[in-house]
Amino acid sequence: MRPFPSRDPSLREQRARAHKFCRRYQTEPSKQNSQLVKSLFAHCGKNVIIESGFFCDYGQFITVGDNTFLNINVTCLDGGKVEIGNDCLIGPNVQILTVTHTTDAAARLNKENFVADIHIGDNVWIGAGAILLPGVTVAAGAVIGAGSVVTKSIAANQTVVGNPARPIAHSNPHG
């Protein structure tokens, strides 16, 4: 975790801009307003679909690869980097949270934020309502079950479910 100066005037201005674009896209989900949201990102690949209800704090810390789909009401609290690979499927109401606060009650009065980047590899499927906490890496080909809370990094091609998310064994219907 590293400190993040969310009260910095330039960051507050960027956050206000991102919130404005996200609200505009939610109330009028047009191609033009989708492009406004994508323009916030550090990088947005080809054939990316972002359904309405998407929300981010800054956008400038987000990269999205090609052919990725973000379903309705995806939230990215992106004080840290959010890197989403190619060919990902991100379900409705998924929360990708790079920001946290201290657990010490007295220190929390200082309103300091801390961030840790989140990395999502290629061809990852994140089920509806999943929550990714700061600092996790989800390696290529992984699956996160609906409603799971990801507190630790996930290996390639691993399926995790639950709170906290834990690996499960599953059979491969194609092999």
Active-site position among 19, 43, 101, 174 = 101
Q: Check if 101 is active-site.
A: yes
| Spatial distance between the Cα atoms of 16 and 29, rounded to a whole number of angstroms | 19
Rounded to 5 degrees, what angle do the CA atoms 165, 171, 172 make? 110
| Spatial distance between the Cα atoms of 68 and 123, rounded to a whole number of angstroms | 9
Q: Which residues neighbour 27 within 8 Å (Cβ) at sequence distance 6 or greater? A: none
> 122 exposed, middle or buried (CB, 10 Å; 0-12, 13-18, 19+)?
middle
Residue 92 · residue 114 · CB < 8 Å: no
What amino acid positions are annotated as catalytic residues? 101
